[in-house]
Chain A
Amino acid sequence: MSTVLEHGNDSRVDGIRNRLAPRAAGLALAGGVVLLLSGLLSWSYDDRILGDISIRFYPAGIQVYVMVLGAVAIALAVLLFRRPGWLDPGRGLKAIGLGSLVFVAGALLAITVQAGGLVNVNEGAWVALVGALLVLAGGGLAAEVDLDVRTWPRLKSSYEILIIVLALAMLLFVTAYTLDVENSATFGTLLVTILTVTVGLLMAGLGEYIGFIGQNNRRPLVLSAFLVAFLFPFTQGGSNANMSIATQILIFAATALGLNIVVGLAGLLDLGYIAFLGTGAYVGAMLSESTFATIGWKPPFFVVMLCGMAVAAVFGLIIGSPTLRVSGDYLAIVTLGFGEIFRLAMFNLDGNNGPDLTNGPNGIPGIPDLNFFGFDFGETHTVAGIPLGRFSNYYFLLLLLVALVILVFSRLNDSRIGRGWVAIREDERAAEAMGVNVFGLKLLAFAVGASLAGLAGTIKAHQDTSVTPDQYIFLESAFLLAAVVLGGMGTVAGVLVGATILKLLPEKLREVNDYRLFSFGLLLVLMMRFRPEGLVPSKRRQLEFHEDDEHLVELAQTEHLEESK
């Protein structure tokens, strides 16, 4: 009886849906226009919060953001009218609608808290609320599109490159703009905006298309990405605040990319990876000109870099050669144990307990800045009228480092060695039966990963000017692993995204800094539960986690065909 009722109910709902479906695009368009207009209205009586949002017809701060949301919604709604087979604007609109709701709710909350009461909210916010609901309704009512990836429009490759360059230039602009925002609340709403637009476009299927274009034009993509990264310091006008964060992100990203070789390619879970970065840093510090350096030998930095790499690689081999015979979870714990041994040893080796190598808990301070052929990294240099401070100098060096790591990563990935790693990761025994040198390749993964981290460490020592044991705790290893997992195991772009998110957010959201680790733990759990393949997954990984998703299989096959053409 009850099932019949429910069924009847269902079909009635479906009926309403079907009748309204043709109007979906109109609804969404109206919603987008309303959102756009709400940006021109006043949001609050109080002119001190979230930028000045009290003035009409002069959008600032969150009024601009809501207009961006409206514009994207309008664009998607127009697409919904035209119904291309390779995009699903309805899903995108749903996401934009939801995001806008969150945005308006956040803005209402911020106004209420900061200005003291809901009465301070002006008409703009309420109009935006209506707009968000309209967009959401439009997106929800739109008929679902069965995406057919074979109908992707084929443009001339010069146009495709143009799209890539434009997208990256946009990225640079958004990054520079985002970093300039000081106020935590404004930053939060901006973050919601960026997230909403990104998710909306991805849901609409644009992400897959962009990925497809990127695949067709690898070289221009990589080159323009580096150009954009190279131009970034010039947008900062000599300020060191953001550059210091950027250098931290780069060191973190370089290390995480090294870890990605071990975890993402070879499938060996290393929970003590930070120890290799620490090895490099300590080598860099001990062989530096610092008066606290415990070894008398002070070679040029190029030699130090090689030493750092070599020592880290040797440590990698020492820990790897006996333990790589044990597999899976055991390896994770052994590496964790090794990481702890490293930290404790660095903490202890102060002369009272064992030889004096590291000054114990005080570490090695006073490491001087690098100096390449008279180019002093500590000083501000002016290029084309734009001053580039100390951190910018290190930024360029680290950018080179990241480029090197990416080069090593991708060349290895595409080589016989990389195939061997993947084979080991998928099924060790089958790989061995096929003649893959399992032990040798695993050891190689460990050594390469370790030496890259060691190299990053030597630079880190100079950039931080001091090295202490408490920088190399287990949590840092967990963070590195999280960057790999969050972004997508086995991909370069994913790890860069993951590293940026994990380092940037805590710096910018200082008011919630105390909850950083708390949300980090929660994030790991939720990621593993709902998107284990990461934000920017490799297709292979994605298939591993969602074997029964036919659409995905088809997509992977299409791309595979395209690649082999």
Chain B
Amino acid sequence: MDAFAQQLVNGLTLGSLYALIAVGYTVVYGIIQLINFAHGEIFMIGAFGALSTWIVLFKGQTALWMLPVMIVGAIAASVVTAVIMERAAYRPLRGAPRLAPLITAIGISVFLQEGVRLLYGKVPGFPDAKQKVPFPVIDGITGQSWNPGNIVIQRAAAFTILALVVCAIGLWIFVNRTKTGRAMQAVSQDPDTARLMGINVNRIIVVAFIIGATLAAIAGVAQGLQVTNINFKMGFLAGLKAFTAAVLGGIGNVWGAVLGGLTLGIVESMAVQFVPGTFGGSPWKDVWAFAILILVLVFRPQGLLGAKVVDRA
């Protein structure tokens, strides 16, 4: 039973991370039916943005109050990257055959990864990013874990879950209570009609990218705090898993992304613990995650919460 509870905690933590990233895939897909393959890199750049903020402003310190500033720095880095990416690479391709933006996305993904790997260390004062880079330690977040019963809850894990809750509430308010949020819903339902109603569709698309980047940046910080180091290729696997989560929940559906992320995280953790024989354990957990992706696409392509966009794919 303890093992189950422990894996549930681990799964929720992992799932919160996936969910935060998955929202970015899903909002963009919901509006322009584009799999923004480079979204994982936005997550990675968020983590590096936080690190850079820390190096420039607070190098050597560990106080808790710096964390919000670092998060702002992370968001700034991610959002700027995402907006430039949308503007320079995706927008000119709107209306092109579907293969074009997807290949562009792969190109951007490699470009950003390599850009960070090669150029980050060239900035004076920044560490070389060709290997893992240690992430700053923050008082209160990276300290002693809590141990209710026999299970271990890392503080950083609690931070991740809390971040998801806060972001989800914020997102709900944004989507349902603000003019821009409602405009976004309108565009995702019918871009042409939305345009006729006077909505600036291009602006809404940028907003979608910004929302995705913001959440991914927060996830990047959370990941850095949990693992205590970051590297230039952390976005690839995380992005792929988050995409799986988005599909699992029903791509195009924001709450589906959250649900899908949590489900995937829990399933992955449980698989590590409970799959018997030599195919269990952590070497196979990624295999199980991808197997779930394939199974979902085969048997329920509209996902758990089902947004009906599959036909357009």
> Chain A: residues with CB nearer than 8 A to chain B?
263, 267, 269, 271, 319, 322-323, 325-330, 332-334, 336-338, 340-341, 344-345, 347-348, 352-355, 474-475, 478, 481-482, 485, 489, 514-515, 517-518, 520-525, 527-529, 532, 544-545
Contacts and interface: CB of A to CB of B under 8 A. Distances in A.
Given A337-B244, A353-B278, A354-B279, A523 B297 contact: no
A536 to B, nearest CB: 17
Nearest to A269: B99
24 contacts: A267-B99, A269-B99, A323-B294, A325-B301, A328-B98, A329-B35, A329-B98, A329-B102, A333-B35, A333-B244, A334-B294, A336-B240, A340-B290, A341-B290, A352-B278, A354-B278, A481-B106, A521-B108, A521-B111, A524-B104, A527-B107, A528-B89, A529-B93, A532-B100
A528 B287 contact: no
Given A323-B297, A529-B93, A524 B103 contact: yes
A325 B279 CA distance: 29
Contact of A322 (B93, B107, B108, B298): B298
A278 to B, nearest CB: 15
Contact of A522 (B107, B243, B284, B310): B107
Contact of A529 (B35, B89, B102, B310): B89
Interface string B77-96: 00000000000010011001
Given A338-B294, A529-B89, 5 more contacts: A337-B244, A341-B287, A348-B283, A478-B106, A525-B104
Contacts of B99: 263, 267, 269, 489
B196 interface: no
A528 B103 contact: yes
A267 B100 CA distance: 12
Nearest to A353: B283
Interface of B: 33, 35, 89, 92-93, 96-104, 106-115, 118, 236, 240, 243-244, 247, 278-279, 281, 283-284, 286-287, 290-291, 293-294, 297-298, 301, 310, 313
A135 B294 CA distance: 58
A474 B236 contact: yes
Closest 6 CB pairs of A and B: A524-B107, A521-B111, A521-B110, A337-B290, A518-B114, A525-B107
A528 B93 contact: yes
A333 B286 CA distance: 15
Nearest to A514: B118
A143 to B, nearest CB: 31
Nearest to A350: B283
Given A322-B298, A333-B293, A334-B294, A353 B281 contact: yes
Contacts of B118: 514-515, 518
A525 B109 CA distance: 10
Contacts of A330: 247, 297, 301, 310, 313
B294 A521 contact: no
Nearest to B288: A341
Contacts, number: 140
A458 B294 CA distance: 28
With a 10 A CB-CB cut-off, give which of A328, A329, A340 has the most chain B CB atoms. Answer: A329
With a 10 A CB-CB cut-off, give which of B106, B112, B114, B243 has the most chain A CB atoms. Answer: B106
Contact of B294 (A329, A337, A514, A523): A337
B294 to A, nearest CB: 6
B90 to A, nearest CB: 10
A532 B313 contact: no
A353 B93 contact: no
B96 A341 contact: no
Contacts of A267: 99
A334 B114 contact: no
Contact of A485 (B96, B101, B103, B284): B103
A527 B111 CA distance: 14
Given A325-B298, A338-B294, A475 B278 contact: no
B93 A522 contact: no
Contacts of A518: 110-111, 114-115, 118
A354 B301 CA distance: 30
A332 B113 CA distance: 20
Contacts of B103: 481-482, 485, 524, 528
Nearest to B89: A525
B261 to A, nearest CB: 16
B293 A326 contact: no
Contact of B102 (A269, A325, A326, A523): A269
Nearest to A337: B290
A515 B111 CA distance: 10
Contacts of A338: 290, 294
A337 B293 contact: yes
Contact of B291 (A269, A326, A341): A341
A340 B107 contact: no
A85 to B, nearest CB: 33
Nearest to A475: B110
Contacts of B107: 520-525, 527-528
